[in-house]
A and B are shown apart, each in its own frame.
Chain A
Amino acid sequence: MSTNLHEQIQQRLAVLEEVRTMLIERLRVARDSDEIDPDTPLFGSGLGLDSIDAVELLVCLTADFGTKLPDDATGRAEMRSVNSLVDIILAARETANGRA
Protein backbone atom coordinates (compact mmCIF):
# COMPACT_ATOMS: atom_id res chain seq x y z
CA MET A 1 0.00 0.00 0.00
CA SER A 2 1.42 3.38 -0.93
CA THR A 3 1.97 5.89 1.88
CA ASN A 4 -0.52 8.32 0.38
CA LEU A 5 -3.23 5.71 0.14
CA HIS A 6 -2.53 4.50 3.67
CA GLU A 7 -2.78 8.08 4.95
CA GLN A 8 -6.00 8.68 3.00
CA ILE A 9 -7.60 5.60 4.55
CA GLN A 10 -6.38 6.43 8.06
CA GLN A 11 -7.68 9.99 7.71
CA ARG A 12 -11.07 8.72 6.58
CA LEU A 13 -11.26 6.15 9.40
CA ALA A 14 -10.43 8.84 11.96
CA VAL A 15 -13.22 11.14 10.73
CA LEU A 16 -15.63 8.19 10.52
CA GLU A 17 -14.94 7.47 14.19
CA GLU A 18 -15.47 11.12 15.11
CA VAL A 19 -18.84 11.12 13.30
CA ARG A 20 -19.88 7.88 15.02
CA THR A 21 -18.97 9.37 18.39
CA MET A 22 -20.98 12.50 17.61
CA LEU A 23 -24.00 10.40 16.65
CA ILE A 24 -23.80 8.35 19.84
CA GLU A 25 -22.97 11.14 22.29
CA ARG A 26 -24.74 14.17 20.82
CA LEU A 27 -27.65 12.61 18.95
CA ARG A 28 -28.19 9.71 21.38
CA VAL A 29 -28.03 6.96 18.78
CA ALA A 30 -28.33 3.81 20.89
CA ARG A 31 -25.66 1.82 19.10
CA ASP A 32 -22.06 0.83 19.67
CA SER A 33 -19.61 2.46 17.32
CA ASP A 34 -18.89 -0.72 15.34
CA GLU A 35 -22.61 -1.21 14.73
CA ILE A 36 -22.84 2.03 12.77
CA ASP A 37 -21.85 1.00 9.26
CA PRO A 38 -20.35 3.73 7.07
CA ASP A 39 -23.20 3.79 4.56
CA THR A 40 -26.00 3.66 7.14
CA PRO A 41 -28.81 6.10 6.28
CA LEU A 42 -29.16 8.79 8.94
CA PHE A 43 -32.87 9.49 8.63
CA GLY A 44 -36.04 7.45 8.18
CA SER A 45 -35.58 3.82 8.97
CA GLY A 46 -31.76 3.92 9.14
CA LEU A 47 -30.51 5.45 12.39
CA GLY A 48 -33.98 6.92 12.80
CA LEU A 49 -32.95 10.58 13.11
CA ASP A 50 -35.76 13.12 12.71
CA SER A 51 -36.07 16.79 11.74
CA ILE A 52 -35.05 17.98 15.23
CA ASP A 53 -31.95 15.77 15.04
CA ALA A 54 -31.21 17.34 11.66
CA VAL A 55 -30.95 20.75 13.31
CA GLU A 56 -28.69 19.33 16.03
CA LEU A 57 -26.62 17.65 13.35
CA LEU A 58 -26.11 20.98 11.56
CA VAL A 59 -25.06 22.57 14.85
CA CYS A 60 -22.58 19.75 15.52
CA LEU A 61 -21.15 19.95 12.01
CA THR A 62 -20.52 23.65 12.46
CA ALA A 63 -19.35 23.62 16.09
CA ASP A 64 -17.40 20.35 16.21
CA PHE A 65 -16.14 20.05 12.68
CA GLY A 66 -16.16 23.62 11.37
CA THR A 67 -18.25 22.47 8.44
CA LYS A 68 -21.16 24.49 7.14
CA LEU A 69 -23.53 23.12 4.53
CA PRO A 70 -23.95 25.57 1.64
CA ASP A 71 -27.76 25.74 1.47
CA ASP A 72 -30.87 23.84 2.33
CA ALA A 73 -31.22 21.96 -0.96
CA THR A 74 -27.64 20.77 -1.04
CA GLY A 75 -27.71 20.12 2.67
CA ARG A 76 -30.53 17.64 2.35
CA ALA A 77 -28.59 15.69 -0.23
CA GLU A 78 -25.37 15.78 1.82
CA MET A 79 -26.92 14.55 5.04
CA ARG A 80 -28.08 11.18 3.73
CA SER A 81 -25.66 8.77 5.38
CA VAL A 82 -22.77 8.52 7.83
CA ASN A 83 -20.35 8.37 4.92
CA SER A 84 -21.82 11.44 3.24
CA LEU A 85 -21.10 13.38 6.46
CA VAL A 86 -17.54 12.05 6.42
CA ASP A 87 -17.23 13.22 2.80
CA ILE A 88 -18.23 16.81 3.55
CA ILE A 89 -16.02 17.01 6.65
CA LEU A 90 -13.01 15.72 4.70
CA ALA A 91 -13.76 18.12 1.83
CA ALA A 92 -14.04 21.06 4.25
CA ARG A 93 -10.73 20.16 5.93
CA GLU A 94 -9.06 19.81 2.58
CA THR A 95 -10.32 23.24 1.57
CA ALA A 96 -9.18 24.71 4.90
CA ASN A 97 -5.73 23.12 4.54
CA GLY A 98 -5.50 24.48 1.00
CA ARG A 99 -6.20 27.96 2.29
CA ALA A 100 -3.68 27.69 5.11
Chain B
Amino acid sequence: MGVPEEVAAIRQSAALSRMDHVRCVCVRGERAYEALDGVVTSDLRVRDGQMIHSLLLEDDGRIVADIHLGRDGEEFLIFSEGPDSVELQDYLHRHLGAAGAEFEDWSQARALLMINGPYAWELLALLLGGDVVGLPYLTLFHFDDGICFRAGKTGEYGYGILIPRENLESLWMRLLEMGRALDVTVAGLDALDQCALENWYFNIRREGREPVTPVEVQLQWRVSNRKSYVGSECVARRRQEGPRQRITCLVTEGPIAVGDAIEIDGSPVGWVVNAGHSSTLDRWVSLGLLDIRWAHSGLDVFRVRAAGGEVGARTMSPPLVNNRSLHVSPQIHSYATRHEFTFPPLRRP
Protein backbone atom coordinates (compact mmCIF):
# COMPACT_ATOMS: atom_id res chain seq x y z
CA MET B 1 0.00 0.00 0.00
CA GLY B 2 1.36 3.41 -0.96
CA VAL B 3 1.19 6.85 0.62
CA PRO B 4 -1.94 7.91 -1.37
CA GLU B 5 -3.89 4.93 -0.01
CA GLU B 6 -2.61 5.59 3.52
CA VAL B 7 -3.62 9.25 3.24
CA ALA B 8 -7.03 8.23 1.89
CA ALA B 9 -7.55 6.08 5.00
CA ILE B 10 -6.63 9.02 7.26
CA ARG B 11 -9.00 11.28 5.33
CA GLN B 12 -11.94 8.89 4.97
CA SER B 13 -11.81 6.03 7.48
CA ALA B 14 -9.08 5.49 10.08
CA ALA B 15 -5.38 4.67 10.07
CA LEU B 16 -3.04 3.24 12.64
CA SER B 17 0.50 4.62 12.98
CA ARG B 18 3.54 3.82 15.05
CA MET B 19 5.02 7.00 16.42
CA ASP B 20 8.59 5.90 17.10
CA HIS B 21 9.82 9.34 16.02
CA VAL B 22 8.03 10.94 19.00
CA ARG B 23 9.99 11.05 22.26
CA CYS B 24 8.04 10.73 25.49
CA VAL B 25 9.47 12.22 28.67
CA CYS B 26 7.97 12.29 32.17
CA VAL B 27 8.82 15.37 34.27
CA ARG B 28 8.25 15.29 38.01
CA GLY B 29 9.43 16.72 41.30
CA GLU B 30 8.47 19.61 43.58
CA ARG B 31 9.86 22.17 41.11
CA ALA B 32 8.45 20.49 37.99
CA TYR B 33 5.73 23.05 37.28
CA GLU B 34 7.95 26.11 37.77
CA ALA B 35 10.78 24.54 35.81
CA LEU B 36 8.53 23.65 32.86
CA ASP B 37 6.86 27.05 32.92
CA GLY B 38 10.27 28.61 32.35
CA VAL B 39 10.93 26.38 29.35
CA VAL B 40 7.77 25.77 27.30
CA THR B 41 6.60 28.70 25.19
CA SER B 42 2.87 28.53 26.02
CA ASP B 43 1.21 29.62 29.23
CA LEU B 44 1.25 26.54 31.42
CA ARG B 45 -2.42 26.59 32.33
CA VAL B 46 -2.98 22.88 32.33
CA ARG B 47 -5.05 20.97 34.85
CA ASP B 48 -4.83 17.26 35.60
CA GLY B 49 -5.81 15.36 32.44
CA GLN B 50 -5.37 18.34 30.11
CA MET B 51 -2.78 18.92 27.39
CA ILE B 52 -1.36 21.89 25.51
CA HIS B 53 0.35 22.17 22.14
CA SER B 54 3.56 24.09 22.59
CA LEU B 55 7.21 24.50 21.57
CA LEU B 56 10.71 24.30 22.97
CA LEU B 57 13.14 26.98 21.79
CA GLU B 58 16.85 27.65 21.99
CA ASP B 59 18.04 30.89 23.57
CA ASP B 60 18.26 32.48 20.11
CA GLY B 61 14.54 31.79 19.52
CA ARG B 62 15.04 28.91 17.06
CA ILE B 63 12.52 26.09 17.38
CA VAL B 64 13.99 22.93 18.89
CA ALA B 65 10.91 20.77 19.40
CA ASP B 66 7.21 20.62 18.60
CA ILE B 67 5.58 19.29 21.76
CA HIS B 68 2.33 18.21 23.33
CA LEU B 69 2.52 18.55 27.09
CA GLY B 70 0.02 16.79 29.34
CA ARG B 71 -0.55 16.94 33.07
CA ASP B 72 -1.01 13.59 34.77
CA GLY B 73 -1.56 14.26 38.48
CA GLU B 74 1.68 15.76 39.78
CA GLU B 75 3.62 14.56 36.75
CA PHE B 76 3.92 16.13 33.31
CA LEU B 77 4.28 14.17 30.07
CA ILE B 78 6.09 15.68 27.10
CA PHE B 79 5.49 14.17 23.65
CA SER B 80 8.23 15.71 21.54
CA GLU B 81 8.95 15.76 17.80
CA GLY B 82 12.24 17.08 16.48
CA PRO B 83 15.28 16.25 18.58
CA ASP B 84 16.41 12.66 19.02
CA SER B 85 16.58 11.11 22.46
CA VAL B 86 20.12 12.32 23.22
CA GLU B 87 19.45 15.87 21.97
CA LEU B 88 16.20 16.11 23.92
CA GLN B 89 17.77 14.86 27.14
CA ASP B 90 20.64 17.29 26.71
CA TYR B 91 18.16 20.16 26.22
CA LEU B 92 16.06 19.14 29.22
CA HIS B 93 19.15 18.63 31.35
CA ARG B 94 20.36 22.15 30.53
CA HIS B 95 17.02 23.84 31.09
CA LEU B 96 14.91 21.66 33.38
CA GLY B 97 17.59 19.96 35.44
CA ALA B 98 19.13 23.31 36.31
CA ALA B 99 15.72 24.49 37.52
CA GLY B 100 15.31 21.58 39.90
CA ALA B 101 12.95 19.24 38.02
CA GLU B 102 13.51 15.54 37.49
CA PHE B 103 12.82 13.93 34.16
CA GLU B 104 12.78 10.40 32.76
CA ASP B 105 12.82 9.36 29.11
CA TRP B 106 10.01 6.86 28.63
CA SER B 107 10.68 6.26 24.94
CA GLN B 108 12.56 2.98 25.42
CA ALA B 109 10.13 1.43 27.90
CA ARG B 110 6.91 2.63 26.27
CA ALA B 111 5.55 2.80 22.74
CA LEU B 112 3.22 5.37 21.22
CA LEU B 113 0.55 4.58 18.62
CA MET B 114 -1.79 7.00 16.90
CA ILE B 115 -5.20 6.41 15.35
CA ASN B 116 -6.19 9.17 12.92
CA GLY B 117 -9.27 9.54 10.77
CA PRO B 118 -12.89 10.66 10.74
CA TYR B 119 -13.83 7.30 12.26
CA ALA B 120 -10.80 6.93 14.56
CA TRP B 121 -13.12 7.29 17.56
CA GLU B 122 -15.00 4.18 16.43
CA LEU B 123 -11.89 2.02 16.56
CA LEU B 124 -10.94 3.50 19.92
CA ALA B 125 -14.43 2.75 21.25
CA LEU B 126 -14.05 -0.90 20.20
CA LEU B 127 -10.84 -1.03 22.22
CA LEU B 128 -11.70 1.05 25.28
CA GLY B 129 -15.48 1.34 25.39
CA GLY B 130 -18.06 3.83 24.14
CA ASP B 131 -17.26 6.54 26.68
CA VAL B 132 -14.09 7.51 24.82
CA VAL B 133 -16.04 9.07 21.94
CA GLY B 134 -16.78 12.04 24.20
CA LEU B 135 -13.11 12.64 25.01
CA PRO B 136 -12.45 16.37 24.52
CA TYR B 137 -9.60 17.57 22.32
CA LEU B 138 -6.28 17.82 24.20
CA THR B 139 -7.20 15.66 27.16
CA LEU B 140 -5.78 12.38 28.46
CA PHE B 141 -6.84 9.50 30.66
CA HIS B 142 -5.45 6.23 32.00
CA PHE B 143 -6.68 2.79 30.98
CA ASP B 144 -5.33 -0.56 32.22
CA ASP B 145 -1.57 -0.13 31.77
CA GLY B 146 -1.71 2.68 29.24
CA ILE B 147 -2.50 6.34 28.66
CA CYS B 148 -4.82 7.55 25.91
CA PHE B 149 -5.02 11.14 24.70
CA ARG B 150 -6.81 13.07 22.00
CA ALA B 151 -4.57 15.17 19.77
CA GLY B 152 -3.16 14.96 16.27
CA LYS B 153 -1.67 16.75 13.31
CA THR B 154 -3.79 15.53 10.42
CA GLY B 155 -6.91 17.68 10.82
CA GLU B 156 -8.96 14.54 11.55
CA TYR B 157 -9.93 12.92 14.84
CA GLY B 158 -6.68 11.76 16.40
CA TYR B 159 -5.93 9.60 19.44
CA GLY B 160 -2.60 8.63 20.95
CA ILE B 161 -2.13 5.42 22.92
CA LEU B 162 0.96 5.11 25.13
CA ILE B 163 1.60 1.57 26.34
CA PRO B 164 4.43 -0.54 27.74
CA ARG B 165 6.60 -1.48 24.78
CA GLU B 166 6.25 -5.21 25.50
CA ASN B 167 2.50 -4.89 24.80
CA LEU B 168 2.97 -3.14 21.46
CA GLU B 169 2.77 -6.09 19.08
CA SER B 170 -0.29 -7.66 20.71
CA LEU B 171 -2.18 -4.34 20.83
CA TRP B 172 -1.17 -3.54 17.25
CA MET B 173 -2.55 -6.85 15.98
CA ARG B 174 -5.66 -6.46 18.09
CA LEU B 175 -6.38 -3.00 16.68
CA LEU B 176 -5.87 -4.19 13.10
CA GLU B 177 -8.21 -7.11 13.74
CA MET B 178 -10.83 -4.87 15.38
CA GLY B 179 -10.44 -2.32 12.61
CA ARG B 180 -11.21 -4.66 9.69
CA ALA B 181 -14.82 -3.56 9.53
CA LEU B 182 -13.62 0.06 9.48
CA ASP B 183 -11.06 -0.61 6.70
CA VAL B 184 -8.33 0.49 9.09
CA THR B 185 -4.99 0.87 7.33
CA VAL B 186 -1.43 1.27 8.59
CA ALA B 187 -0.12 4.76 7.77
CA GLY B 188 3.55 5.70 7.88
CA LEU B 189 5.31 8.96 8.57
CA ASP B 190 5.19 10.10 4.92
CA ALA B 191 1.39 9.90 4.96
CA LEU B 192 1.19 11.74 8.29
CA ASP B 193 3.51 14.43 6.92
CA GLN B 194 1.37 14.86 3.81
CA CYS B 195 -1.74 15.28 5.95
CA ALA B 196 0.08 17.81 8.12
CA LEU B 197 1.09 19.76 5.01
CA GLU B 198 -2.47 19.76 3.61
CA ASN B 199 -3.78 20.98 6.94
CA TRP B 200 -1.01 23.45 7.83
CA TYR B 201 0.38 21.70 10.87
CA PHE B 202 3.92 22.82 11.62
CA ASN B 203 6.42 20.11 10.66
CA ILE B 204 9.61 20.24 12.69
CA ARG B 205 11.31 17.85 10.23
CA ARG B 206 10.61 20.08 7.22
CA GLU B 207 10.07 23.83 7.72
CA GLY B 208 11.35 23.37 11.28
CA ARG B 209 14.84 22.82 9.85
CA GLU B 210 15.02 26.47 8.83
CA PRO B 211 16.57 28.85 11.36
CA VAL B 212 13.18 30.34 12.20
CA THR B 213 11.43 31.55 15.33
CA PRO B 214 7.69 31.09 16.02
CA VAL B 215 7.14 34.55 14.49
CA GLU B 216 8.19 33.51 10.97
CA VAL B 217 6.26 30.23 11.04
CA GLN B 218 3.01 31.82 12.26
CA LEU B 219 3.06 30.02 15.60
CA GLN B 220 2.68 33.03 17.86
CA TRP B 221 -0.52 31.45 19.17
CA ARG B 222 1.71 28.89 20.91
CA VAL B 223 3.80 31.63 22.50
CA SER B 224 3.00 33.36 25.76
CA ASN B 225 3.03 37.14 25.88
CA ARG B 226 3.00 37.17 29.69
CA LYS B 227 6.04 35.22 30.88
CA SER B 228 9.72 34.53 30.31
CA TYR B 229 10.81 31.22 28.80
CA VAL B 230 13.87 29.97 26.99
CA GLY B 231 14.16 32.14 23.87
CA SER B 232 11.46 34.63 24.89
CA GLU B 233 13.71 37.69 24.59
CA CYS B 234 14.58 36.86 21.00
CA VAL B 235 10.96 36.15 20.09
CA ALA B 236 9.85 39.46 21.63
CA ARG B 237 12.59 41.31 19.75
CA ARG B 238 11.69 39.63 16.46
CA ARG B 239 8.05 40.58 16.99
CA GLN B 240 8.96 44.16 17.84
CA GLU B 241 11.20 44.55 14.80
CA GLY B 242 8.64 42.81 12.62
CA PRO B 243 9.51 39.62 10.75
CA ARG B 244 11.32 39.91 7.43
CA GLN B 245 9.91 36.63 6.18
CA ARG B 246 6.86 34.52 6.84
CA ILE B 247 5.90 30.95 5.98
CA THR B 248 3.06 30.99 3.47
CA CYS B 249 1.12 28.19 1.81
CA LEU B 250 1.42 27.83 -1.98
CA VAL B 251 -0.14 25.58 -4.55
CA THR B 252 1.65 25.01 -7.83
CA GLU B 253 0.90 23.69 -11.27
CA GLY B 254 3.75 21.16 -11.21
CA PRO B 255 6.37 19.43 -9.08
CA ILE B 256 8.61 21.52 -6.87
CA ALA B 257 11.11 20.66 -4.15
CA VAL B 258 12.52 22.03 -0.93
CA GLY B 259 15.11 24.71 -1.68
CA ASP B 260 13.59 25.83 -4.99
CA ALA B 261 13.67 29.60 -5.44
CA ILE B 262 10.39 31.54 -5.52
CA GLU B 263 10.30 34.62 -7.72
CA ILE B 264 8.10 37.48 -8.84
CA ASP B 265 8.95 38.98 -12.22
CA GLY B 266 12.35 37.30 -12.10
CA SER B 267 13.28 38.67 -8.66
CA PRO B 268 13.78 36.25 -5.75
CA VAL B 269 11.22 36.64 -2.95
CA GLY B 270 11.75 33.40 -1.01
CA TRP B 271 12.29 29.65 -1.23
CA VAL B 272 10.37 26.42 -0.73
CA VAL B 273 10.74 24.91 2.76
CA ASN B 274 8.24 22.04 2.50
CA ALA B 275 6.65 20.50 -0.57
CA GLY B 276 4.79 17.44 -1.70
CA HIS B 277 2.12 16.12 -4.00
CA SER B 278 -1.23 16.04 -2.25
CA SER B 279 -3.08 12.93 -3.35
CA THR B 280 -6.19 14.28 -1.62
CA LEU B 281 -6.18 17.42 -3.74
CA ASP B 282 -4.28 16.03 -6.75
CA ARG B 283 -2.03 19.06 -6.83
CA TRP B 284 1.36 20.15 -5.52
CA VAL B 285 1.30 21.86 -2.17
CA SER B 286 4.17 23.68 -0.56
CA LEU B 287 5.22 26.11 2.09
CA GLY B 288 7.40 29.01 1.08
CA LEU B 289 9.46 31.22 3.34
CA LEU B 290 8.52 34.47 1.64
CA ASP B 291 9.67 38.07 1.95
CA ILE B 292 7.11 39.61 4.30
CA ARG B 293 5.97 42.04 1.58
CA TRP B 294 4.66 39.11 -0.45
CA ALA B 295 3.65 36.71 2.32
CA HIS B 296 -0.09 37.08 1.79
CA SER B 297 -2.75 34.63 0.81
CA GLY B 298 -4.59 34.95 -2.49
CA LEU B 299 -1.72 36.20 -4.71
CA ASP B 300 -1.34 34.54 -8.10
CA VAL B 301 1.96 36.11 -9.10
CA PHE B 302 4.70 33.65 -8.16
CA ARG B 303 7.04 31.48 -10.22
CA VAL B 304 9.06 28.64 -8.70
CA ARG B 305 12.41 27.70 -10.28
CA ALA B 306 12.01 23.93 -10.07
CA ALA B 307 14.31 21.22 -11.45
CA GLY B 308 11.89 20.53 -14.28
CA GLY B 309 11.54 24.21 -15.23
CA GLU B 310 9.58 27.22 -14.03
CA VAL B 311 6.27 26.52 -12.34
CA GLY B 312 3.48 28.99 -11.60
CA ALA B 313 2.38 29.25 -7.97
CA ARG B 314 -0.26 31.05 -5.95
CA THR B 315 -0.64 31.57 -2.25
CA MET B 316 -3.68 30.13 -0.47
CA SER B 317 -5.19 30.16 3.01
CA PRO B 318 -4.79 26.77 4.67
CA PRO B 319 -6.16 24.32 5.57
CA LEU B 320 -6.55 23.19 1.98
CA VAL B 321 -8.68 20.19 2.93
CA ASN B 322 -12.28 20.18 4.01
CA ASN B 323 -11.68 17.62 6.74
CA ARG B 324 -14.33 14.91 6.93
CA SER B 325 -13.96 14.90 10.73
CA LEU B 326 -15.60 18.34 10.78
CA HIS B 327 -18.74 16.70 9.45
CA VAL B 328 -18.68 13.34 11.23
CA SER B 329 -20.35 13.21 14.63
CA PRO B 330 -19.93 10.13 16.83
CA GLN B 331 -23.50 10.70 18.01
CA ILE B 332 -24.92 10.45 14.50
CA HIS B 333 -22.53 8.72 12.14
CA SER B 334 -20.67 5.46 11.88
CA TYR B 335 -18.35 4.00 9.27
CA ALA B 336 -20.89 1.31 8.42
CA THR B 337 -23.57 3.91 7.60
CA ARG B 338 -21.27 6.43 5.87
CA HIS B 339 -22.94 5.92 2.49
CA GLU B 340 -26.26 7.05 3.93
CA PHE B 341 -24.92 10.59 4.35
CA THR B 342 -23.66 13.15 1.92
CA PHE B 343 -20.44 14.83 3.00
CA PRO B 344 -18.86 17.88 1.39
CA PRO B 345 -15.94 17.13 -0.96
CA LEU B 346 -12.53 16.86 0.69
CA ARG B 347 -11.10 19.43 -1.69
CA ARG B 348 -11.93 23.02 -0.82
CA PRO B 349 -12.91 25.24 -3.73
Contact = CB atoms under 8 A, between A and B. Distances in A.
Given A37-B219, A80-B319, A73 B296 contact: no
Interface residues of B, number: 31
B52 A45 contact: yes
B301 A5 contact: yes
A9 B220 CA distance: 22
B322 interface: yes
Contact of A5 (B138, B297, B299, B318): B299
Given A39-B317, A44-B137, A77-B322, A8 B298 contact: yes
Interface string A28-68: 00011011111111001111000000000000000000000
Contacts of A31: 220-221, 225
The majority secondary structure among interface residues of chain B is: loop
Contacts of A32: 225
Contacts of B301: 5
A12 to B, nearest CB: 5
A31 B322 CA distance: 28
A77 B221 contact: no
A73 B221 contact: no
Interface in B288-312: 293, 296-299, 301
A39 B247 CA distance: 10
Contacts of B223: 35
B326 A77 contact: yes
A74 B344 CA distance: 8
A39 B220 contact: no
Given A8-B298, A83-B297, 7 more contacts: A12-B297, A12-B298, A39-B318, A45-B221, A46-B221, A47-B221, A84-B317
Interface of B: 52-53, 137-138, 200, 218-223, 225, 239, 242, 246, 248-249, 293, 296-299, 301, 317-319, 322, 326-327, 344, 348
Interface of A: 5, 8-9, 12-13, 31-32, 34-41, 44-47, 73-74, 76-77, 80-81, 83-84, 86-87, 90
Q: Which 4 residue pairs are nearest across A and B when measured between Cβ atoms?
A: A37-B218, A83-B317, A45-B53, A77-B322
30 contacts: A5-B299, A31-B221, A32-B225, A34-B239, A34-B242, A35-B221, A35-B223, A35-B225, A37-B218, A37-B219, A37-B220, A38-B218, A38-B317, A39-B200, A39-B218, A39-B248, A44-B138, A45-B52, A45-B137, A45-B221, A46-B221, A73-B344, A76-B326, A76-B327, A77-B344, A80-B318, A81-B200, A83-B317, A87-B297, A87-B298
